[in-house]
A and B are shown apart, each in its own frame.
Chain A
Amino acid sequence: MTIDRDTIEKIARLARLTLNGTEIAMYQQQLSRVVEAFTELAKVKTDAVEPMVTPLTESGLLRTDRVEEFSRMDEVVAGAPAVVGRLFKVPPVV
């Protein structure tokens, strides 16, 4: 099965990834080969099988929804690429 170039470009847009021409060609070839190898899954009969999304059988642990003080906000903000005070700064996009 071959994934065409348009599909690769569409997937890259959905994934929010800017790819150059070399990357698009490479992923087109590699993903086609991977997906081709994975088509054998279609042979397994799965009528009425509930999809499994986690191995956990217990119901998830929940904690009280309570507001807590977090005193290290400056450190959190310091990790951003650009800030003004405690605000995240981004280039104008409109």
Chain B
Amino acid sequence: MEFAELSTAVTAVRAKKISAAELAQEYLARARERGAEIGAFISLNDKAVDKARQIDHLIAKGQDPGPLAGACLGIKDLLCTDGLRTTAGSRMLEKFVPPYSATVVARLESAGAVTIGKTNLDEFAMGSSNEQSAFGPCRNPWDSTRVAGGSSGGSAAAVAAELVMAAIGTDTGGSIRQPAAFCGVVGVKPTYGRVSRYGIIAFASSLDQAGPMTKSVRDSALLLEVICGQDALDTTSSAQNVPRFVQQLKPQTRGLKVGLLKEYLSGGVDAAITKALERATAELRSRGAEIVEVSVPLTAMAVPIYYLVATSEASSNLSRYDGVRYGSRADFAEKPPEDLAEFYSRSRGQGFGPEVKRRIMLGTYALSSGYYDAYFRKACQVRRLLHDQFVAAFQSCDVILGPVTPTTAFKIGANIKDPLQMYLSDIFTTATNLAGLPGMSVPAGFDDQGLPVGLQVMAGHFQEQTMLNVGAALEEIFGQSGSPGRG
């Protein structure tokens, strides 16, 4: 029972060649066994097979089960799932069971998808390696001594290891694209506003977007069609029309202008990634694309802007965890709090892990009196200039092609003691979130240690179709990465 892609599995279910229940049982078993070895999941959905039976029942009655009938998915444990524990990778929410689902989850399930489990992540999506999860790290299925990437590490690893057919991740500064690159899967961060953020535990509200992580570009297009679109429950969701991404998907690049960002080509990138980029450029040119050099000088400032804006928003968003209405509370039996501030502070000091506290501290500092103008306001001003430079760059090209990461997957523990070094590894991904642009990571072969290499395609606002088409061309050039141990 091997399906290279979600699309083929759904077709088989709809044609009654296999039942959704059989698939759910199989994937649940894989998630339980192999998933535990690599730490891909935080919780599994024991109602998955029941849900799959409902899909089979609809099909038996001749009713339309939806475009994702029987699709077995992993959902990042940052998205609320009705009746299924949602932890955000934090001790703070260790026992949190939401009484509602995120709009993304509701749309997927209405389309016939089955949630197999909640995937591992860095606590509150804050991290680039999945080592900051309170439930332990997620390991890279291609080399278990290495990180899966982050923050959507569990989603990427689960897809790569074929424990699910596809997964949903979220991307605030690269959290879909970077783990996708490290694990050899496709990962798409849509334009800001494309996908409802309702029911997604907030990290940085002006940057967060959910998106698909899949084996193929076609699968990502299929999931995007379901999850994109305006939602009355999210005031920042866009009214822009959602294209028929699958129908219009074609690996066609003739006449397209592919931009190479000068600032992303100045070195400091692994040789295997540079080689993949050169090969992609040459092949796209031979397929009729025009290669042009573009410049966005302020990308050099993307990491500082990002870490000031994201942490400031986080320090505000995470103020809701006060130990009163939900979430964990410190044990006050031996030493009762002297005042309300101490009650909050001790619960928060115990409930949050080290990276979350570090970011709350940095954000509070950037927003505090005396530093606000120099840090938060300044970052927001440079953000606008960066945005404007990107808009100008997309006047002279249709997409920008570049690296996702400076290196392939690094060793577990390599960057954990040096937060600045970890932050700097987000150098190629944060700019798209700041500007609100769509970006995707596409597998582009392997380095000489057998670790996946990814390439990034970025496009103008709401130009996901063009981006996906270039992604499909890259997929033709490099092929899918397969699965560890299966090839």
Contacts and interface: CB of A to CB of B under 8 A. Distances in A.
A54 B136 CA distance: 33
Interface stretch (B24-32, B44-52, B119-127, B352-360): B352-360
Given A3-B365, A11-B368, A52-B384, A44 B345 contact: no
Contacts of B352: 17
B41 interface: no
Given A41-B304, A55-B387, A61-B237, A93 B323 contact: no
A17 B359 CA distance: 12
Nearest to B360: A15
B193 interface: yes
A25 interface: no
A51 interface: yes
A33 B419 CA distance: 9
Interface stretch (B62-70, B243-251, B331-339, B477-485): B331-339
B361 A80 contact: no
Contact of B304 (A10, A37, A75): A37
Contact of B342 (A18, A58, A62, A79): A18
B357 A19 contact: yes
A18 B238 contact: no
Size class of B's contact patch?
A: 35 or more
Interface string B152-183: 00000000000000000000000000000000
Interface in B346-383: 346, 348-350, 352, 354, 357-358, 360-362, 364-365, 368, 374-375, 377-383
Contacts of A15: 315, 348, 360-361, 364
Contacts of A82: 329
A31 B382 contact: no
Size class of A's contact patch?
A: 35 or more
Contact of B326 (A19, A72, A79, A94): A79
A11 B238 contact: no
Closest A-B pairs by Cβ, 10 of them: A55-B436, A51-B380, A18-B349, A52-B384, A81-B329, A46-B381, A60-B235, A38-B304, A79-B326, A75-B99
Interface of A: 3, 7-8, 10-19, 23, 27, 30-31, 33-35, 37-38, 40-42, 44, 46, 49-56, 58, 60-63, 72, 75-76, 78-82, 88, 90-94
Given A17-B360, A34-B420, 14 more contacts: A3-B365, A12-B345, A14-B368, A15-B364, A34-B423, A44-B301, A46-B381, A49-B385, A51-B380, A54-B192, A55-B192, A55-B436, A79-B326, A81-B327
